[in-house]
Each structure stands twice: as C-alpha cells, then as structure tokens.
C-alpha cells in the first residue's frame, strides 16, 4: 500500500456524521460568496474526493440545495458544514478531516470575490496566552465535547449518553 492508497477520515464536530475517503484529487480554497456563507468562514476550503471511494461511515449528512447546480451537505445535529456537491463532484471541508494539516490547498477559486482583508491575516499580531494568565486558566478549564479526530466505536461515550 502506498501513500495514495491511504484512507482519510473525518466528520462533523458532534460525531453524528463520519466519513472515509481516498486521497483528494484537488485541494482548493474558494472565495465565492456562497462558500463564505455556507461555511460561516471567510472562504471555503475543500478537498475534492473520488465519489466511488467515499463512504459515510456514521450517520448521514443533510442537504441544502444552494443553487441550481450544487448542494451543500452538513450535520443536522451540530451544523458543521461538510460538503460542496455538484456535477458528479463531492468536495469535503478540509477542516472536517481528522488531519487537516495534511491537506494543503493548491489553488484559490473565485479570487475576485474574496473578502479584501483575507490576505492580510498573516500579518496580524498573535496573542500569546502565556501573557494573559486569566485566559490561560480559562483555556485549561475547557472540557471539549467535540468528537475526537479519529473514528470511535460509539459516540458519545457511555457516561455522557442520556
């Protein structure tokens, strides 16, 4: 088995919907207004996958027909945006994958519709939590209810169910 045969996995924030797929055929970010709105982000970031090698391993995505040519899949329980789908193509949100760092975009689409300040983000000052003890303490107190970044046999864990 070589790297291109490796299966990738991911899912929504609550874990009700999980998927497994082969290595993406294209990884892109899209600045169109529909991707901004559908993802709730400042651009969409998607990995196009071979639909014959894509399986929904837990639950099912809900579909919103966002135009006459495309639909968007999302988790009906937690709202995580999961897919752009159209013309036989399925593209999955990069951040929904368990290992998004492995999926570096190769191209920007609909660049003319970008939010103008998006490309200045890298120059913004970054807050260091170590300089803010109250923030550090707050972050240390956070208990995540998010599904972990790997497949699970059952979710949520027994102690939280019901």
Four-residue CA torsion sign, 45, 75, 23, 34:
negative
Per CB under 5 A, does 45 bind Zn ion? no
Alpha-carbon distance of 95 to 98, in angstroms, equals 8
Q: Which stretch binds Zn ion (CB under 5 A): 2-10, 46-54, 68-76, 127-135?
A: 68-76
Closest CB to Zn ion among 22 and 78?
78
Return the DSSP state at 160. Answer: T
Output 136 or 149, the one with its CB closest to Zn ion: 149
From its phi and psi, is residue 25 left (phi > 0), alpha (psi between -120 and 50) or beta? alpha
- Rule CB under 5 A: say whether 96 interacts with Zn ion: no
Q: Closest separation between CB of residue 132 and Zn ion, Å?
A: 31
Q: Is 54 in the site for Zn ion (CB under 5 A)?
A: no
Residues 10-39 that bind Zn ion (CB under 5 A): 12, 14, 16, 30, 32, 35
Query: What is d(CA 158, CA 153) in angstroms, rounded to the nearest whole number?
Result: 11
Does residue number 95 form part of the binding site for Zn ion (CB under 5 A)? Answer: no
Q: In the chain, which residue ranges form alpha helices assigned H by DSSP? A: 33-39, 133-141
Question: What's the farthest any 2 CA atoms get from each other in the chain?
Answer: 51
State which residue, 23 or 80, has the beta carbon closest to Zn ion. 80
**How many residues make contact with Zn ion (CB under 5 A)?**
9
Which residues here bind Zn ion, judged by CB under 5 A?
12, 14, 16, 30, 32, 35, 75, 77-78
């Amino acid at each position: 088995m070589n790297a291109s045969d490796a299966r990738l996995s991911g899912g929504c924030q609550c874990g009700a919907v999980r998927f497994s797929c082969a290595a993406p055929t294209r990884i892109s970010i899209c600045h169109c207004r529909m991707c901004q709105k559908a993802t709730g982000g400042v651009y969409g970031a998607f990995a196009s996958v071979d639909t014959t090698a894509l399986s929904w391993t837990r639950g099912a995505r809900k579909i919103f027909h966002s135009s006459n040519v495309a639909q968007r899949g999302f988790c009906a329980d937690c709202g995580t945006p999961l897919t752009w789908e159209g013309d036989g193509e399925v593209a999955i949100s990069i951040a929904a994958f368990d290992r998004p760092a492995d999926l570096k975009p190769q191209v920007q689409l609909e660049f003319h519709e970008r939010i103008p300040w998006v490309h200045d983000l890298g120059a913004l000052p970054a807050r260091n939590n170590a300089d803010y003890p109250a923030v550090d303490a707050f972050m240390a107190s956070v208990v995540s209810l998010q599904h972990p970044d790997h497949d699970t046999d059952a979710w949520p864990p027994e102690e939280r169910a019901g």
